[in-house]
Structure 1
């Protein structure tokens, strides 16, 4: 009987052990499946993050114009080799031309290309690039005039796959067609350039993955070792290249088996261990779920400021609009752009720039209510939603107060930095009944604010749309203006004060529009600066001015140049070649630049100025006193001429302070070895004052309006 009882007890204990072990094994299997799903999700998130990173650099009007329309190696080097390499840690970046050949490559040395990319752009990667090119061509549409534009999906012209990089390396290869902004400029109906970024799956990348998972270690193995679990790394066609493997966190069954001799003697111990194992697995599942939620949230927030990224901001803002839809309340969308973040980064480095960003965000948050939503959607761009105001007036009061409070200087260490922002504002429901329309209107208002002087806010109105369409018409016309010889050079005389003779003539561009007649530069040059055609116009103007001046006996010529022209590769050599070709002495050429050029404190600008000065070509700072002028800039850039802005000259007869300021400017220029030109002279009184103030040269309507070189009076004046 005791034997039967003992046997029964043993059988009961064994049965309990089997039940416990099977229960633990079932729990562990579920835990392993959760881990596999979690690792797969984090791995896919890392792929999407790489695609988002390169989208920022592949999708823009500027990228398409400087790569596909007119390939600029300097722009490519700056954009991909400097900006992209600074912001992200891709191991290899390659730009493929329309034939699939690499035209630019930056490699941090972790991808073993050995100078040959053929082993990389093949198989699944080649298929991905081919699919992208095909989808791009399918996405091209033509308007009634035959102009092509891209209206396809960005998802169709991008993709990412796993790839065997050779030499035992596996990696993620992301590709994105170079396309303009949707609804932007016209395109060519040919295969696009493709930007390819490679991330090696090595210890560094795996460590980043671990930060979002409740695992201690993770490895890459060809096969999944015994006692470990894994997620396959596959190509798009399903071929397995390797596996992400790790040791499962739930191993209670092994613990139970190692204690089996002791457990068999005491059922209580078995039950305790069972409870412990179940609790351990439950805790691991909770921790894994918490890590998953943190990883999802982190991917949707900006790591520097903690603000929502675009997709999270849109979700929250659309929810807020829906909550207030039938309550008779008013809301606003503010599109903010930091005016001088790029200049701050260039002058003082990205560490100071990041601290400036954080300071601006803190100011914004201090001036927002609890219900307001703030998101960072770009490097220096933010979206702010002000929902639920009782009236339109109350809403605009809040907007005005916020803009006034954020447009103040910021002290960082011993630096006093400009933290002003340009802000575009749209109102709900006045300017749109959905978030997409409101953001578009706010963006249009922001562009208008930048044009009007920055550091302020502009409220959207429908007239701004017409301005946008007008810009597009001007932009399209400029593409044809140079080819059709529609640009015209006008010249305004610059008089030597004491002798009264014409010393120079300033070359000023005009556009003989086939439909609108003669257009002043203010009607088209701002658009040319935006779309990048300003360099071509400037180059035409420079050559035409030198050619015309070579026909004059002694009169020199002054030509305006912009910063992007000065930084073009071979600019100095181009100027020298034009002077030699037309036989004009370098001493008869003056290049005029605006004060904004001085904000670029790069060695390249200083080098160009020094080389031009060594050739005898004078550099004049134009519109002095209206921009970023300071003694340090004047001393640093060694100008030969200083042009006093017309706004000071116009007040000579009505404002005593204006006369004092002009005398001070002239005295400063003399001390620094510069000659002085006064612009905008229109009266005899202004002429007499400037002559008494020892101004060297005078320019303005008093001596002659701008006129073409074939104008009879102008021809006599310049040939005298």
Structure 2
């Protein structure tokens, strides 16, 4: 009897012990969760408050920077002196309000009397004297005093005066506003500015609901507003006037993600916890080891995918991801950023003389030296071959940046002790800063490459920091963008040429539409150049639609079997692209089955939903999709699989090497066999000799495009060429 009692008592005591331990654990979890919720909510509020402080400060600092874009300018001085109201509208008043969102703009003469005014998008009548609010006049007087003090302290103070500004929060006609006043100064020695005779520019930004919403939307702040009376609670930030008195408060409803999550998940967590409690003990050990294994495997795979195995550094993909993260942060007022391109001088000579093993060892030692030179906040990557890249965070000032680059050039030029012997190489470095270069990641990379090119041009083993004057190509790009906009507006500078695509019998299989710009102001511009500019500047959709309309109309007039039109990855991302294409087909009467849209494999296509939807809808309508430059870009099969390709075009780089001993014939044969196996049409590009054509026929490719068969022709020349279509050629 006693033994039976003990046999049942032990499991009971064990169950009770487990139940007690579980209850205590659950209670601990509840208490910890409650504290965690409070801390999460507190952290969220601290984040929001820090964001608000930065955002308000950024707004105040933004205005004088925007002013100097137009006030530090010879024309601004001359036009202000001439009281040119229309010019001031276009550059100092209405334009600033439209472009930057300012609410009021004034230009003050040397006597601080307003000679120009624009309020809320409307110019004030210059015939009626403009009354300047006393608070604005007081700020102008303070700036005058600051200008006079600067001029007295420096012999040539023009540049220092141009950088001066005076701003404050004031109450203007009952409305709290941000005010910034800057002097209007020349930017060259061609215009003389007498001391004390400076004109002033006044910019006013209302502290209203519009600004509050803009600040709030940047961090999803709810109920963001500016109020005059001090509100209750902690979610507020006071803005003070020049005397330090609070003038207006920015308020918002603080986010409480912790509390919100608890309220949302409470029923589900309760039921799920009860269900999982019985499984927890049995599964915890297994899950723990499985999770650890998966963590290690995932970390290893992630590291291998984003790092260069030889150098042990991030690879190009990882580097570009970091650059895409750092650049917007720098643009938004964060830490300054510099991009550095590094190229080893005469690295190929080491490979050729000592072998690839020595070259690999040199790459590893270079990587180690570069890592030792940067900080934890910076990024060093091997971009390929002997190319390296560095992202410097918080070191974009001229002197510090130059010192760093000079030290890096010296460090990388020191001798390297390899197993094959002592070698010495140097490094050329190009630098571009986010502050000096506009545009996105590609523009910054181009600027760094331009600076690297100049460093090599100047003799190698040196660094060069990018300047606008250095890059003729960049200036050329800006000129092309300007002329391209004018050409699109004019509508008569472009032309479309057509290159025939023939089958093995010489019959016309299709024609490819090729855009030309013969009417460019500086003479014809290469399509590769101006089409790239159109893509970067957002004009490619309008330009591409014009080409599509011209090509479809020509194909219908000429009864072409098929017309091939190149499209950009930018166009494919547009939600209205399919509708535009179908509208063109309807207006020209061309059947969808006679239209072929060419994608270029060299340009990475966006695999997003919009691109897939457009291609799917177009193929459903009967339009064919071709992949140009096949096997020269990012992937041989990925695009064919992902984008439902109908036609592949073998690039001329393969065709031109047919008959050589480098294995090109076998590669082309493999591409043709692959295309046939996948049921694709195959076209060979760049066919220039009869031998190439015969070789392709032998391989199994029967459709050709190239100078042997016909160069790109104008509409009239193509019409007069009389290419026979299938069934027209005599037997």
Q: Given the two structures, how large is their TM-score scaled by the length of structure 1?
A: 0.48
Structure scoring higher RCO (CA < 8 A, sep ≥ 6) equals 1
TM-score (norm 2): 0.48
